[in-house]
Copies of this chain bind each other. A is one copy, B any other.
Amino acid sequence: MLFKNINILDENLELKQNMYIGIKGDKIDYIGTEMPKQDYGERYEGKGKLLMSGFFNSHAHTPMTLMRGYGENMSLQSWLNDRIFPFEAKLNGEDVYYATLLGIAESVRFGIVSTTDMYYFCDRMADAILESGVKNNLGRGLTCFTDEDLKDLIAYKESKELYEKYHNSGNGRIKVDMSLHAEYTSNPKIVRQFAEFTKEIGANMHVHVSETQKEHEECKQRHGKTPIEYFNDLGLLDSKTTAAHCVWVEDNDMDIMLEKGVTVASCPVSNLKLASGVCNVPRMLEKGINVAIGTDSVASNNSLNYIEEIKFFTLLNKEKHKDPTLVTPKQALYAATRAGALGQGRADTGKLAEGYKADLIVLDISDVHMFPVHNLVNNVVYSASGSDVVLTMVDGKPVYRDGEYLTIDIEKVKYEVENSKNRILASLS
């Protein structure tokens, strides 16, 4: 495909106008101000459009689309115990497969090209990911409430099988990460063993860290250490780690995270909705930590509207620190793109540069809410609507375009998800 006469946000997130972008195979082959001589196939007219890197969702539980709006305005404990856990206990692989496809459809509709996921029935999630053409860092969430050895845990066996079967499959679109649920749902022996296994195979680690004050403080009481200190001492952060939330991390934690190259997946909407707090993004950026953005699950968001997530990400810390200069639009867009790609171990994507993977989106910038333009980066971050995405391309292939889901039979998916929902609700009543 050749994009012509299009505005772009270049690799430095600077606006360039009237550009030509040629896609060959899964890569960006050409970026220039002149019409290229090579024939790239379909010509995409770029007038009134903006081409930029796709978004990286650095923390999600995609199949939870099935629970959108199911438990609302409840305390965290009541939400989990009365709604989420009983519902999840009824899920089967087919439910997860179709709910994943629904979540992928929503993701690409809002410009997400790659997601870091933690859930279960991950083999069926892998099927959905491979079929639909998106990227995913997939992990089977591991918990342990007994004193078993790692080797005896089903979640370990599934993680290992998943890694052997799917890691780097689909042209590298799937990466299998090891996923430890959290400190409070495991124990030091398991953490140490899982850390060693993860290092041994060279996988990434994905873990919930200091999401709530309760979690953070109780860890300190139990172990005399913060979750980050605890995980670091057990070797977990020796693997390339994405730490989701990090709302309550302390200054020393941040120094450890920087030293260990941990990526923070900040989930601003979910952290508000569950009343967890506001992640101290400016302090992390100041220290040089790689900060990315996640939506968390649709059950606690309740959407995958990524542009909306970016707006929350920029605004919350201005108020928290009473300083409107904090978290600039460009910092937010970097977190949404390149920082996310780097956190997923995908150095070959997340920015618009020749030779990089063609994981791209096009925004329609012609509607009234994007006008006038004093500064297009400001408009994208503060004024755009999530639905302004009109094209999402992964590895050079369009997966969403102008209302059409090009790799997903969306009516079939909705039909099956509705059936899953009704079966589970009937069995719970």
Contact = CB atoms under 8 A, between A and B. Distances in A.
Interface of A: 65-70, 72-76, 79, 102, 105-106, 109-110, 269, 271-278, 298, 301-305, 308, 311-312, 315-316, 318-319, 321-326, 328-329, 367-369, 371-375, 378-379, 382-388, 405, 410, 414, 417-418, 421
Contacts of A387: 385-388
A428 to B, nearest CB: 12
B374 A303 contact: no
A383 B275 contact: no
18 contacts: A67-B374, A69-B378, A69-B379, A70-B374, A73-B326, A73-B329, A75-B324, A106-B369, A109-B368, A110-B369, A272-B318, A273-B382, A275-B324, A303-B385, A371-B414, A371-B417, A372-B414, A372-B418
B369 A304 contact: yes
Nearest to A269: B315
B275 A319 contact: yes
A8 to B, nearest CB: 18
Contacts of A368: 102, 105-106, 109, 405, 410, 414
A368 B369 CA distance: 23
Q: Which of A273, A373, A374, A385 has the most CB of B within 10 A?
A: A374
Nearest to A328: B73
A275 B75 CA distance: 28
Contacts of A302: 378-379, 382-383
B321 A275 contact: yes
A414 B368 CA distance: 8
Nearest to A378: B69
Given A74-B324, A110-B369, A69 B421 contact: no
A369 B319 contact: no
A275 B379 CA distance: 19
B68 A372 contact: yes
